[in-house]
Amino acid sequence: MQVAWYLYQTVSALQYIHQFDIIHRDIKTMNIFLTKTDLVKLGDFGISKILETKSQMAETVVGTPYYMAPEIVKGDSYDHKVDMWALGCVVYELLTLKKTFQATNQLRLAYEIVKGERGDIDPQYTENIQHLVSWMLQKNAKDRPSAEELLASSKFTQIADIQKMKKKVWELNTLSRKLRQLSTVSIETVPIIKSKITEVYQWGGGKLTPQKQDIFIKGKSAMQIAVGHSHFAVVTMEKELYTWANVQGGTEIVGQLGHGNTSAYKAPRKVEGLEDVIHVSCGEDFTLCVADEGKVHAFGSNYYGCLGMEEEDDAVLSPVPIPFFSSNPVEEISCGENHVAALTMDGEVYTWGCGEFGRLGLGSEDDFSIPQKVATPGKHLFKHVVCGSDGTFLITVNGRVLAAGSNEHNKLGFNSETSGLRKSKVQVYDIPCKYTFSTVKPLTRYIISQVAAGKDHSAAVDLYGHLFTFGSNKYGQLGVGDFRRHKGVCRVGGGLTGKVVDVVTCGDGFTVASINENQVFSWGNGANGRLGAVFSDQLKGPNNKSSCLPRPIFGSLYSVSNLASHHWHTIVIAEKILNQKTLKSRVSSPKYRDNSPCKVVIPQPAPQEEDSAFASEGIGSEDISSSEPVSESDGMSDSGNPLTPDIADRPSSAESFGRPRSSDRPRSAGREASIPEEDTQVPEWLKAEMDDDFIPMPGCDQIVNPVLPRQNPVANPLPSPVTPKVNLVVPGMSPALNPVTPGSVENFVHRKNGSPDSVVRSLSERIQLLETENKMLKEMVQLQDLKIKSLEMKRALDEKRDG
């Protein structure tokens, strides 16, 4: 039955969005779309609502009146059951071909909906489908089924073979996916990097400037990096793992390097026995890595059970697999100082290790040596897990952030301010810690793509590359230009104003960020080389070594694709592009096709000094006429096409999209303009639009600097003047002088026989007429000034008299 087929697809769509606590709120026939292959698509989520928790209810009165549920009409709170009511109205409309509730005005319609009385359905339809409609149109929301309950009901299974329909939907979607792939052609510019150098730099721990690790070149190019309290880890393109130590202050190596001993190797060394490593994360004194198939290996200290194996000793010197994840493949892993969080390929989150301050999000402060599954409020799809020193962040696919653990200094971002209209002190609700994962509400207004957690502060980047910081600002690590305490979330400005942040990382009292313009900025505590440079304004803060504004430390030669900071260390992957080739779609320059021999030579101005204010603006190059007669070959481009005045005076499309301007390249006087080799036909409507953007010039049917006979040469003929669009009506001016219309000069000149003497004589007459016009205009302006002054004096006298 066709209605059952449509009903199954629509209910399945509602079931999917409801499991993520989304209420559509505008289910109606106009928002249910049908493809050519009989697939149903649910659209128009413009007024949909995302509920924070299962128990939350919505209250806003929105939707289409004919499909509103009684609770919305009455102004009561409601949940996803309103979508089921609206779906019942849609199915009723399919069966009866009329609205479920009808009225002549909205007030009457609201009464009919609350009353709940509707017409009967034609008996030709089965009792099962009629029962389903009545079930969805129950006045009490609690009596209505959820989408999941409706699909599982016996009444529905009797009218539809769910497994068969599910298979059919999958087949139709597979076909549409293939068609989209075949019909989609990329036409955007794609840079193909032919050669590049990938380098690894580290600083901090006494190293004031970035130090290069020479081992990571060619086949050992770095792909991903991590840093702990005193050790570093790098995953190469060959999926090999390298680790080394930077021991300061007598820190002990307990196996976190994975080399089978406790030696502190100061140079990067390959970890033997590990293959196909794709991801690594470092804790205080332990290391975990993920292999190709989602298997997890661990080594180092197991004091808090961070290695995920209950029977292991206090320290493991070589990599060992974590048995729990042999059947639960991991997609991403993150280590805090003494705890771990893992995101599996099934979208589940597991935490283990030290549970102090509730950092595991398991509802207590207990320690766990075996991975524990995390329960989160509502249905969420997670894409990233991030561990801080004593807290954990979860980032959902829709940009929401959940957190658990210590909120000291508001480093998890939970604290919120309350202020009203009255002049009262702003209250801040300080939340010390969270034992379970909760939504960070101050960040819900943004779509967060990444989060970095430091010791006492955190940073977040939204979908548009804006950087936000929160937590302690003792050393200016929030980057807001001061060292004061900030109670909420701060937007970082300064050198990052207008920049798009790609990656951010936080250490102990400092922050490092890279932008899409291939620069790296750092700010905060500069002690022991944390910032990677010494700035002129760094002698500030409580230790006289801090900077409270972002300062660049890497130039634009490098593209920084990965950053990692911990304690006082930072490590980055910097890519330097040596050679690249750009593949782009064909771009047509705006030009006219014209078969007439009209042509023009564009002399370029003489080279100007670099410090000239007009060097890049092309000022002084407005003369489009040649001082010499035009020869037969003048004005021809490299492709052999003549240059029309419109082409010569118009920038190419490539220049408009950021290519180097001609003024940025060396020029010489008298050089002829060239046109790109591409030549495409411009539609007539586009020609008309482009004509409106440029000063009109004589067409090719008119004479442009006529080729003079050689037997009667004229030296330096006057150029044809180009008149702007002026239409001045001057009182008292003769019709011969009023108005001046566009192109009147050219028409005046070219009405003559074209001989040199007649051209000069005609232009002289026209100049006299223009001088007369100018004189009359000046007199008129003077009269207007006198009138204005007299009116101002009269007004002043009136005001004085009234006063």
Task: Give the DSSP letter string of 723-777.
Answer: --------TT--TTTS---TTHHHHHHHTS---HHHHHHHHHHHHHHHHHHHHHH
* CA torsion, ordered 700, 704, 709, 714, to nearest 10 deg: 170
Pairs from 246-251 (Cβ < 8 Å, separation ≥ 24): 246/202, 246/205, 246/569, 248/205, 248/206
> Tell me, what's the pLDDT at 343?
97
Half-sphere exposure of 744 (CA within 13 A, CB side): 15
Mean pLDDT of 206-228: 89
What share of the chain has pLDDT > 90, as a percent? 45
- pLDDT band at residue 773 using 50, 70 and 90 as cut-offs: confident
What share of the chain has pLDDT > 70, as a percent? 71
Two tokens, residue 576: 């330097």
- Cβ(708)–Cβ(756) below 8 Å: yes
469: amino acid identity, one letter: T
> Tell me, what's the pLDDT at 62?
81
- Please return the burial class of 329, using the count of CB atoms within 10 Å of its CB with bins 0-12, 13-18 and 19+: middle
Max avg pLDDT among 610-624, 640-654, 778-792: 778-792
Mean pLDDT of 85-109: 91
> Tell me, what's the pLDDT at 691?
58
Concerning whether 26 is annotated as a catalytic residue, the answer is yes
Strands 467-471 and 368-373, by their bridges, are unpaired
Two tokens, residue 632: 């037969």
Cβ atoms within 10 Å, residue 192 = 9
Mean pLDDT of 146-166: 90
- Cβ(439)–Cβ(396) below 8 Å: no
The 10s digit of each residue's pLDDT in 258-310 is: 999 999 999 999 999 898 999 999 999 999 999 988 999 999 999 999 999 88
- Cβ(155)–Cβ(125) below 8 Å: no
Is residue 557 predicted with pLDDT exceeding 60?
yes
d(CA 672, CA 667): 10
Active-site residue, selected from the candidate residues 21, 26, 390, 502: 26
> Tell me, what's the pLDDT at 9?
93
> Tell me, what's the pLDDT at 611?
35
Mean pLDDT of 587-616: 38
Q: Per-residue DSSP letters for 615-629?
A: TTTTTT----S-SS-
Residue whose structure tokens are 């190419």: 652
Pairs from 151-154 (Cβ < 8 Å, separation ≥ 24): 151/8, 151/11, 151/12, 151/15
Longest C-alpha distance within the chain, in Å?
A: 109
- Omega of the bond leading into 739 within 30 degrees of 0 (cis): yes
> Tell me, what's the pLDDT at 673?
39
Fill in the DSSP letter of residue 326: G
Q: In order of start, what are the domains of the chain with their CATH numbers? A: 2-183 (1.10.510.10), 338-387+390-453 (no CATH), 589-705 (no CATH), 720-803 (no CATH)
- Cβ(552)–Cβ(479) below 8 Å: no
Taking CA atoms, 558 is separated from 155, 189, 211, 228, 583, in Å, by: 64, 21, 15, 25, 22
Is residue 714 predicted with pLDDT exceeding 80?
no
> Tell me, what's the pLDDT at 750?
47
316-320, 587-591, 680-684, 752-756 — which is least confidently predicted? 587-591
d(CA 444, CA 55): 19
Cβ atoms within 10 Å, residue 464 = 10
Q: Per-residue DSSP letters for 234-297?
A: EEETTS-EEEEE---TTPPP-STT-SSS----SS-EE-TT--SEEEEEE-SSEEEEEETTS-EE
Is residue 718 predicted with pLDDT exceeding 60?
no
The 10s digit of each residue's pLDDT in 160-210 is: 888 889 888 888 887 666 666 555 544 444 555 555 788 999 998 888 889
Is residue 799 predicted with pLDDT exceeding 60?
yes
- pLDDT band at residue 428 using 50, 70 and 90 as cut-offs: low
End-to-end CA distance of the chain: 89
Residue whose structure tokens are 């009561």: 76
